[in-house]
Structure 1
Amino acid sequence: MQNQHYPNPSEFRSGGTGHAERVFRVQQAFADLGGDVHGPGELAAKSGLDDSAVFRILQSGVYQGVFERVGRGRYRLGTGSAYLGLHALAHAPGDDAHAVLEDLRAATDGGLVLLYMLAPFGGAQRQCIDMAVGDSDLAELGMTARDLLTVTRSLRTGASGRAILAYLPEPIQRRVLAEPVPDGAGPGAIRDNEELRESLAVVRDQGYAAGREECMAGWNSCAAPVMWHDSIVGAVLLLKPAHVMPQPRPAVIDLTRATAAKLSRLSSNPWPAAY
């Protein structure tokens, strides 16, 4: 199963020196391989470079903080790479995100609208960074801070989790599927991993996810991915009581997708091609 598109080494174009291109290939190899640490041999095979070139790049990168040596002959991406990623993500999504969330809430006759982003720390998880809930008191609606910080953190639970997970690389998907379903998840949470994998393919094909009481009993949802070009960064989630929205109507789906597109830093297409 293929997911998020990561360029093969042959797809890189020489826009500078040959050495710079080789450095980018080694960095990309870490992302393609997934996991935490890798040896020069693995990275060389993935990047299409010889072992000695990869070793020299790793050694130089350790001094620059781009790579970090872990034990003997093993490396991982370093704090320098993390800092660059955080600095880049600081400029996404687009301006005035809260107003865009409020527009979706108004256009869909109320409900709750939440913006989730990939968490920068703690593994492959999501974090609620903004919401449009009107005058609603979340406690009165049966929601607690625990719901937002624990149950909805897992990418394997809920429409917004699956809207993000569907576009992550397969190694990260495997890690998430190996996690247990969080305690307190709703009765509609997808517990079978094969069913969950199939749902991710549907998300990529349709560009949205629909959830039925996945995170909380009594609440259904519709979520769409927030992208930065071809990279997933988060998801917009619309929540409504199950008796009000047994399933998302086409108009609700279109509005949720349009909101996600507004929050995305896009290339020519709002979502990556389905694989």
Structure 2
Amino acid sequence: MSPAKSDVRSAAKDASATSFLKMAQVLDCFTKARSRLSVGELVVLTGLPRTTVHRIVSSLREIGMLDQDGRRRDYRLGLKMFHYGSVVIGTLDVHRHAGPHLQQLNQLSGEIVHFHMFDGSQMACIEREVMSGNHMTTLTTIEAAPIYCTSVGKAFLAFQPEPLIRRICAEQGLVKHTANTITDMDRLFEVLADIRRQGYAIDDEENAVGVRCVGAPVRNAAGQVFAAVSVSGPTDRMPDRRLTGLAPVVIDTANRISEALAS
């Protein structure tokens, strides 16, 4: 191959990589708080030229990764993204590795058990174990949970670098869901320090009135926290002494899931 042809191919590869990076920039702009965005807003958020953004969103719309609101002309993530998310969950094989441990935790606690993974901005519920009468029900969902005011979220957040913590909180905003929700960053960092020391997190009616939870971090093969497991129940069944009593069991479950996922 002549040097000229080699240079042309190399330039084409670089251009393709740059295009993918720009597409990722556009997709990264969409969050739960910013679910619908106009081309103008995407230009501001990405810093890309308007013609580039318009070309990218048109291409993403054609392949179903973005949908457009006909009335407002705004864009939102398309159902193709849901398809990809479902495929990712399927390839993780969470049910085989984590399922038995979650079911055991559900049987021991008699309360609802959740397994959440960080999806880039929030905690996505991958599996939910519920005891109904004498029957256990396993639910798989992609329902998201806030990070700063849930036990699974704080159990994840406590073991992340400070820049990521600040970015997530800035994107979500420390919105007050209940009277107990932490809305001050300094206070949140104090709580996260306690979680790192004790190994578990508590949601004291911070996300929903009448619900208390205890959660613990789950690690991947590299030892990085990427998910969390929790037990939640109504306040009258989850006084302080029961939360602290369940904490070691939740931590043990999280550790066994970490070992299973790494094997």
- Shifted more, 252-261 versus 123-132: the winner is 123-132
CA drift of 1:102 comes to 5.1
Per-residue deviation at 1:159? 1.7
Distance 1:253 1:61, change over 3 A: closer
Percent identity at matched positions? Answer: 17
| Bigger radius of gyration | 2
Unpaired runs of 5+ residues, structure 2, are 1-10, 138-143, 233-237
Unaligned 5+ runs, structure 1: 1-13, 139-144, 146-151, 182-188, 267-275
What corresponds to 1:81 in structure 2?
81
Q: Is the 8 A contact 2:125 2:145 kept in 1?
A: yes
Q: Alpha-carbon deviation of 1:57?
A: 1.6
- TM-score (norm: length of structure 2): 0.57
User: In the alignment, which of 241, 244, 247 is matched to residue 243 of structure 1?
Assistant: 241
CA distance in 1, matches of 2:46, 2:59: 17
Relative to its length, the structure with more helix (as a share) is 2
User: Aligned partners of 2:77, 2:225: CA distance in 1, in Å?
Assistant: 18
- TM (norm. structure 1) is 0.55
Higher relative contact order (CA 8 A, sep 6+): 1
Give how far 1:236 is off: 0.8
SS of alignment partner, residue 85 of structure 1: helix
Shift of 1:52: 1.9
- The match for 1:197 is 188
2:140 paired residue number: none
Residue 161 of structure 2 corresponds to residue 160 of structure 1: no
C-alpha deviation, 1:171, in angstroms? 5.2
Alpha-carbon shift at residue 162 of structure 1 (Å): 3.2
Task: Report the Cα distance in structure 2 between the residues aligned to 1:212 and 1:75, rounded to whole angstroms.
Answer: 34
Q: Deviations over 1:92-124 (max 9, x none)?
A: 353242223356689xxx43572333699xx96
Q: Could you tell me which residue of structure 2 aligns to residue 55 of structure 1?
A: 54
Q: Aligned partners of 2:255 and 2:261: how far apart in 1? A: 10
8 A contact 1:222–1:248 mirrored in 2: no
Superposed CA RMSD in Å reads: 5.1
SS of residue in 2 equivalent to 1:193: coil
2:254 and 2:57 map into 1 onto residues whose CA distance is 41
